[in-house]
Amino acid sequence: MTTEITPVIPVPERAARVFTALAAVATAGTALTAWTWTADFPGDLTFYGSPAGLQWLTLTGGLITAVLTLARYGIPGLRWTSPAGGNNGILLAALGTAAVSWFAIIAIAVDLGGLANLEPGGWLAGLTSLLAVTGALGLPLDRRTADSLGKPNYWWLLAGVVGYAVHHLITRTLRLAKIERKLPPARELPSWAEVLLIIAAFAVGLFAITFGIDTEYGELFTGYLILAGFTVAALAKTGLLQRLRALTVKHRPVATGAAFSAAAAFPFTQTSDQYTSVAANILIFATVALGLNIVVGLAGLLDLGYVAFLGVGAYAAALVSGSPASPIHVAFPFWAAALTGAAAAMVFGVLIGAPTLRLRGDYLAIVTLGFGEIFRITMNNLNGTTGPNVTNGSNGIPRIPDLQILGFDLGKKHLVGGIELGRFSNYYLLMLIITAVVVLVFARVGNSRIGRAWVAIREDETAAEAMGINGFRLKLLAFALGACLAGLAGTVQAHVSYTVTPDQYTFAEALPPNSAFLLAAVILGGMGTISGPLVGATLLFLIPKKLEFLSNYQLLAFGIALIILMRIRPEGLIANRRNQLEFHEPVIPAQSAPEDAVPLTKAGA
């Protein structure tokens, strides 16, 4: 009878792990110290024992790094946060914490005029965060070849020597050697615990998104983006995001209800309409991006003038809204105005698509780009001078009245559960319902026979037609459905912005939504998915808004961020399985040759 020997964690790895955890905790502790002596820096980082601004990000990053590091020691309650068991997540979390800390140091030096404005707490944050990265580099990291998997990284002697000394001291005093055995997999949770975990995950997501939207100055938002990017990547490497995704699939009704409830709770976390206006516009942008995802992501049709359909819906709703500037002088109820905008956009989609969808690739893109510019120029010329007076030309249609739904005036403040909801909060909740409808339509169509036919056309239109698929008819259907969803969002946008002008619907000159940003949201988020365009639209709307402090360098920084993101994730932030396989080659384990194998040179001889 043979006895199976349980392998133990190598000493260098244990040393580096203890060293990383201690450095991460020390980094989090520096958030309780003063980083600068003057309150001129945004956030006022001059207090002891009271984190503020960028210090909260360093505190969060340090704690996340410590938790992921200690999870490999089998501490009860923490093992579940690292189901994959790799060390790459620890390194990414440590790098994110160091990036945020050093960004704060550089920002203080730039804003206040030199490193002399730093207090010892700021220097400690930079030093301890670098020590955490050094310790994480001493762990055996996952490589892309099988030969290097599981091997310690002995090159980082500093982490090994210092970490071993610290580990030896802790082992002697606290007897941590008892938990050095190979860790068992995290146990399965009962159903009620999984449901609670899903709810908690969406609650944390709501808090993180709310924090990002509510950032009051550009430095804090930039640090938030840095930490959020590294943290999401770290949690993906540890396998936590995959496990949460599996739970949402297992409990889909609960996950859907939790997601909608978390989104609906956002206005109740705000004390004013300052940021709910941003959230309402994000939903409009995201809904239009979902409509474009049908055209680009499912059917594979490159549309560069898609924002024109948003403009068609907005103008149609503005003309029948009862605005004093409208030459029609009618006032439709909301449901009629929404149907008018959606129908008008769908009709324009059919009229434009019928003669142009026989084109493919770049030719189709050029034609759709021309349609977008023709729409803008036409709206400018319908001013009563160069054409009939329909749109008031460049002045647009102003003074669009607020919506009234079942006697509920969305332009007035209302008390709900003792919390006052302003105008933009009302429109946010309305747009949330419309977004949910669009998501439902996208999900049903994407999983239907028509959706599979669209994917076949996207992959190879010639082969799809050879199998009996009517490519032209299905492409026209995708064009019409995408235009209809964009027109539906345009009806709400017209009332949110109070006015509709041609300059709002350009290819790239204006702030989002425009055609270039809509296409970037779909590609950046992940083509063919539901959550991808939502995430992409949120980022592409928030980043220009929050980077206004960069002034003339705003677009430069924005472009660099896009290049980095697309270099790291060419398949999109949230991509489907097909795109992941296309952009990333699978890791093929190296196989050792048999001992009796004859070398090729000898066999040839």
Neighbouring residues of 135: CB distance < 8 A, sequence distance ≥ 6 = 16, 17, 19, 20, 21, 23, 94, 159, 163
Could you tell me if 41 and 105 are in contact, meaning their C-beta atoms sit under 8 angstroms apart? no
The terminus-to-terminus CA distance of the chain in angstroms comes to 48
Report whether 505 contacts 310 (CB < 8 A).
yes
Helix axes 88-112, 54-71, angle to 10 degrees: 160
Are 301 and 357 in contact, with CB atoms under 8 Å apart? Answer: yes
Position 142 scores a pLDDT of 63
Domain presence at residue 552: no
* Strands annotated E in 311-465: 404-405, 408-409, 414-416, 419-421
Last residue of a domain, one of 537, 556, 584: 537
As to burial, measured by CB atoms within 10 angstroms (0-12 exposed, 13-18 middle, 19+ buried), residue 197 is middle
Domain co-membership, 358 together with 276: yes
pLDDT of residue 344: 93
Q: Is the pLDDT of residue 539 over 90?
A: no
Q: CA gyration radius for the chain?
A: 28
Q: What integer is the mean pLDDT of 245-270?
A: 87
Per DSSP, what are the bridge partners of residue 36? 118
d(CA 86, CA 92): 11
Would you state the pLDDT for residue 523? 85
My answer on whether 138 and 64 are in the same domain is yes
| Interior/surface letters 78-98, b for 16+ CB within 10 angstroms, e for the rest | bbebbbbbbbbbbbbbbbbbb
- Whether the pLDDT of residue 387 is over 90: the answer is no
In this predicted model, what pLDDT tens digit does every residue of 33-65 receive, in sequence order?
999 988 888 888 888 888 888 999 999 999 999
How far apart CA 412 and CA 238 sit, in angstroms, is: 47
SS3 70: helix
Cα–Cα–Cα angle for 424, 425, 428, rounded to 5 degrees: 85
201 domain residue, yes or no = yes
- Residue 8 vs residue 209, higher pLDDT: 209
| Residue 550, pLDDT score | 67
Instruction: Return the pLDDT at 50.
Output: 86
Query: Are 309 and 177 contained in the same domain?
Result: no
120 and 238 assigned to the same domain:
yes
> Of 128-137, 176-185, 206-215, 419-428, which range is least confident?
176-185
The angle, 0 to 180 degrees and rounded to 10, between the axes of the packed helices 11-29 and 157-174 is 90
| Higher-scoring residue by pLDDT: 589, 567 | 567
Tell me, yes or no, whether 128 lies in a domain.
yes
Q: Which residue has the tokens 């800390």?
A: 101
> What is the mean predicted confidence (pLDDT) over 80-90?
76
Bridge partners of 408, per DSSP, are 405
* Cβ(60)–Cβ(105) below 8 Å: no
Whole-angstrom distance, CA of residue 84 vs CA of residue 65: 16
pLDDT of 158 over the 60 cut: no
Percent of the chain clearing pLDDT 70 (strictly above) = 81
* pLDDT of residue 98 exceeding 60: yes
Q: CA distances (Å), 590 to each of 158, 593, 598, in order?
A: 31, 10, 18
Same domain, 218 and 313: no
The three-state secondary structure class of 321 is: strand
pLDDT at 12: 62
* Mean pLDDT, residues 429-444 taken together: 90
Angle at alpha carbon of residue 477, lines to 473 and 482, rounded to 5°: 150
174 domain-assigned: yes
pLDDT band (50, 70, 90) for residue 372? confident
Res. 1 pLDDT band, cuts 50 70 90: very low
Comparing C-alpha atoms, which of 437, 470, 466 is closest to residue 453?
470
* Cβ atoms of 4 and 144 closer than 8 Å: no
Query: Which domain CATH number covers 510?
Result: 1.10.3470
**Each residue's pLDDT tens digit, 208-243:** 888 888 888 888 888 998 999 899 888 888 888 888
CA gap 337, 314 in Å, rounded:
10
Q: Does residue 595 form part of some domain?
A: no
Are the C-beta atoms of 93 and 28 separated by less than 8 Å? Answer: no
* Choice among 178-182, 248-252, 288-292 with the minimum mean pLDDT: 178-182
Does residue 553 lie within any of the structural domains?
no
Q: Which of 538, 488, 531 is nearest to 513 (CA)?
A: 538
Q: What are phi and psi of 205, to 5 degrees?
A: -60, -40
Cα-Cα-Cα-Cα dihedral sign, residues 418, 423, 429, 433: positive
d(CA 284, CA 517): 13
- Grouping H, G, I as helix, E, B as strand and the rest as coil, residue 30 is helix
DSSP letter for 508, please. Answer: S
Mark whether 298 and 216 lie in a shared domain.
Answer: no
Give yes or no: residues 160 and 88 share one domain.
Answer: yes
Q: What confidence score (pLDDT) does residue 64 get?
A: 92
Same domain, yes or no: 121 and 193: yes
Q: Which residues are CB-neighbours of 585 under 8 A, at least 6 positions away? A: none
CA dist 127 → 111, 122, 130, 198, 282 (Å): 21, 9, 5, 36, 38
Separation CA 559–CA 547 (nearest Å): 12
pLDDT band at 577 (very low <50, low <70, confident <90, very high): low
| CA–CA distance, 333 with 302 (Å, rounded to integer) | 35
Burial 274-301 (b: 16+ CB within 10 A, else e): ebbbbbbbbbbbbbbbbbbbbbbbbbbb
Q: Tokens 């239907």 label which residue?
A: 448
The first and second tokens of residue 120, run together, are 């010892």
pLDDT confidence of residue 28:
93
Same domain, 176 and 230: yes
25/86 same-domain check: yes
Task: Confirm whether 577 is domain-assigned.
Answer: no
CB of 573 within 8 A of CB of 532? Answer: yes
Distance CA 512, CA 506 (A): 9
The SS3 assignment for 414 reads strand
pLDDT at res. 187: 62
What is the pTM assigned to this prediction?
A: 0.81
Task: Pick the last residue of a domain from 537, 571, 598.
Answer: 537
**Helix (H/G/I), strand (E/B), else coil: 41:** coil
Q: Evaluate if residue 592 carries a pLDDT over 90.
A: no
Is the link from the previous residue into 398 a cis peptide, with omega within 30 of 0?
no
Domains identified in the chain, total number = 2
CA distance 217 to 104: 13
Task: Specify whether 527 is located in the same domain as 429.
Answer: yes
pLDDT digits (tens, 9 = 90+) for 476-534: 999 899 999 999 999 999 988 888 888 888 876 656 677 888 888 888 888 888 888 88
- DSSP 3-state of 411: coil
Residue 469 falls within a domain, yes or no?
yes
- At which residue do the structure tokens 């945004």 appear? 42
Are 291 and 222 in a shared domain? no
- Domain boundaries, position 379: 272-537
Cα angle value 548/554/556 (rounded, 5°): 170
Domain end position, chosen among 246, 280, 298: 246
Q: Would you say how long the chain is, in residues?
A: 605
Reported as a pLDDT band with limits 50, 70 and 90, residue 345 is: very high
Q: Give the pLDDT mean for 399-419.
A: 83
